[in-house]
Structure 1
Amino acid sequence: MTETTLPTTGLRSSLRHIWRDQRVWLTSAVILVTLAVFDMPQAIDSAVFSANALLQTAPFLILSIAIAAWAGATGADNLIARAFTGAPLLMIGLGALAGGISPFCSCGVIPLIAALLAMGVPLSAVMAFWLASPIMDPSMFVLTAGVLDLEFAIAKTLAAIGLGAFGGMVVHLMMKGGAFADPLREGIGNGGCGGAKVRAPKPVAWRFWAEAERRAKFGKTALSTTLFLAKWLTLAFILESLMLAWIPAETVTAALGGEGLMPIVTATLVGVPAYLNGYAALPLVGGLIEQGMAPGAGLAFLVAGGVTSIPAAMAVWALARPQVFALYIGLSLTGAFASGLLFQLWSSVL
């Protein structure tokens, strides 16, 4: 009985490991195969959309992956982590400011987020950076000013920094009560191990390529991070392509029109599932404002959608524990509504 049971148990265990390690790739494959069976043109469109989206984000992804791998191989991650130690409020403010002006997209910054959390950097400072980063960057500022106007671009930048600072403060207060001792998912990293690097830093070897062990660490980190991002972003972009194909823009327009408080509430909630992407959303919001939508509702839509867009949200889900993900979504919605309300009040005064 034992001899016949062991192979079966081993097979089940192997299948569980395969599913656990490859479930994201398998899910993407199942979606594309199902589309190919029932709607071949959409299957082709989704595959092409995902490939193009990956190519467009590739420069930021490559840069962030290289920085994360370089920091680990040289030991510069010690310096990065130490830069985030100190007065918590100051670190939260700096994290929010850095996120609001950094050129990284919401997906490209994930390797840096993982590295910071694994090194024991407080979640409060990291969350401030994390929330602010998807909303604004230098190119987005210029495009927002061109498509909408300079006032809107400045408001969106302030909303990004304000949301980051607000989120960081909430996390800081919760951490003082004992929450979020280990924010990363199992297998991605842990603050205890990384925290030792901060407490007992080792010398930095800037010429890491001169040592075989450090070269190997660079390659291993770069490969694992690339595979991690590739599988999650592929699935995210496939889902985004289906959302664009199956949710007409007219539906979004009808839901977000009008003035008053309710359009801001609606825009905040609708921004979660209906957000296209940072660049495609700007012309949509511009058209809605021309049709009578309040500017505050437009800002709430952009802020909520930017932080909770499918690629950004799935990246957070893949990296952090469910309670951190839930807080991330809650903070983004609260901050988006507050940003839209304040901008609407400001616009009405002027």
Structure 2
Amino acid sequence: MRDTAFSTNGPRAVLRHLWQDQRVWLASALIIGVLMVVDPRQAVDSTGFAAAALLHTAPYLILSIAIAAWAGATGADNLIAKAFTGAPLLMIGLGALAGGLSPFCSCGVIPLIAALLAMGVPLSAVMAFWLASPIMDPSMFVLTAGVLGAEFAVAKTFAAIGLGLFGGLVVYLLMRGGAFADPLREGIGNGGCGGSKVRAPQPVVWRFWTEPDRRAKFGKTALTTTLFLAKWLTLAFLLESLMLAWIPAETVTAALGGTGLMPIVSATLVGVPAYLNGYAALPLVGGLIEQGMAPGAGMAFLVAGGVTSIPAAMAVWALARPQVFALYIGLSLTGAFASGLLFQLWVSMA
């Protein structure tokens, strides 16, 4: 909803817009306020956790925001959108590969994904990148190899790329049937209207800072994207801090122990609400495997938890329409179970 619409719809429309824009900040403030009353120490811990997490992701976020703002100010977004047309299956493959190997965390890719969708890049290619990116990155590969072994790290990388390919192909087939014409929520990117349609090419002005209008567009895009990310990530990290504080590791251990097919199913489902984070989950899974848990269950837990972790899932919810979010979760769970099952079969055959 654009600002020009507010002046014609009266005070009620203005208030509704302000509520929709500020409710995420209000939710974060409410959480901290309730914690200050019932558990002041946890309030301090959660606030510090959220601040530290935002600081940790800041380099990726700054780079992503700058790229998105630069693409819009120069008009390069039209070239990017044009490059993604004509070969959707190739773009799905490249998106999955880039997601599985890129150094961006699930939070750092949010502005890039929003920009790609608004530029007209097909949702199938974006979904492939979106699904693969939270599972694996170079630093995660090194840590996974150190904690769980090189074989597990390589298998997790293939799982990330495979999940991206699977999700991209499913979305591609659904889109051929007319689904997901406008994947973005109203007010995101280009307003969610026609965001999946490639716009007519416009001249690219690489030296955008020489034109006042383009400088203004760069600043506005950077500011709005920063505020959007800040409010959603603050809420996500606050919720993650409470999950870490209130869900004992022993509870997760009890739910994931054992061997056979059912632990893989359990690990896939438990990974959604009980996932800690990509780094904290590694020693937990390593300890469970040493205690007899099936390696496939560990793989399913890491894949499902990575894609559906609070920051990753809230990013999808904030950007995409509910039906896209539901598909994202469904693809995550299906792909995680398949990854765990295939890895377990591989281990048993080795």
TM-score by length of 2: 0.94
Unaligned runs of 5+ in 1: 1-8
Give the SS at the match of 1:134.
coil
Distance 1:13 1:327, change over 3 A: same
**5 Å matches for 1:96-245?**
96-188=96-188, 189=190, 190=192, 192=194, 195-197=197-199, 200-245=200-245
Unaligned runs of 5+ in 2: 1-8
Structure 1 residue 82, shift from structure 2 partner: 1.7
In the alignment, does 2:340 pair up with 1:332? Answer: no
- Report the residue type matching 1:166 in the other structure: F
Structure 1 residue 13, shift from structure 2 partner: 4.5
**5 Å matches for 1:71-82?**
71-82=71-82
CA distance in 2, matches of 1:96, 1:147: 25
Distance 1:340 1:51, change over 3 A: same
Structure 1 residue 204, shift from structure 2 partner: 1.6
- Report the residue type matching 2:197 in the other structure: G
CA distance in 1, matches of 2:317, 2:311: 10
1:89 — aligned with what? 89
- Report the residue type matching 1:298 in the other structure: G
Deviates more, 1:75-84 or 1:174-183: 75-84
Give the SS at the match of 1:296.
helix
Structure 1 residue 196, shift from structure 2 partner: 4.7
2:33 — aligned with what? 33
CA distance in 2, matches of 1:258, 1:201: 57
**5 Å matches for 1:1-20?**
12-20=12-20
Structure 1 residue 18, shift from structure 2 partner: 2.3
1:269 — aligned with what? 269
Give the SS at the match of 2:194.
helix
CA distance in 2, matches of 1:63, 1:193: 23
CA contact (8 A) 1:61 1:107 kept: yes
Kindly tell me the number of residue pairs found equivalent between the two proteins.
Answer: 340
Structure 1 residue 147, shift from structure 2 partner: 1.3
Give the SS at the match of 1:192.
coil
1:54 — aligned with what? 54
CA distance in 2, matches of 1:233, 1:19: 18
2:344 — aligned with what? 344
CA contact (8 A) 1:121 1:191 kept: no
2:319 — aligned with what? 319
Give the SS at the match of 1:277.
coil
CA distance in 2, matches of 1:295, 1:128: 25
Distance 1:11 1:75, change over 3 A: closer
CA distance in 1, matches of 2:330, 2:75: 35
Distance 1:48 1:248, change over 3 A: same
1:258 — aligned with what? 258
CA contact (8 A) 2:100 2:160 kept: yes
Deviates more, 1:71-80 or 1:304-313: 71-80
- What fraction of aligned residue pairs are identical, expressed as a percent? 84
4+ runs deviating over 4 angstroms: 9-14
Give the SS at the match of 2:197.
helix
C-alpha root-mean-square deviation of aligned residues, in Å?
A: 1.4
2:6 — aligned with what? none
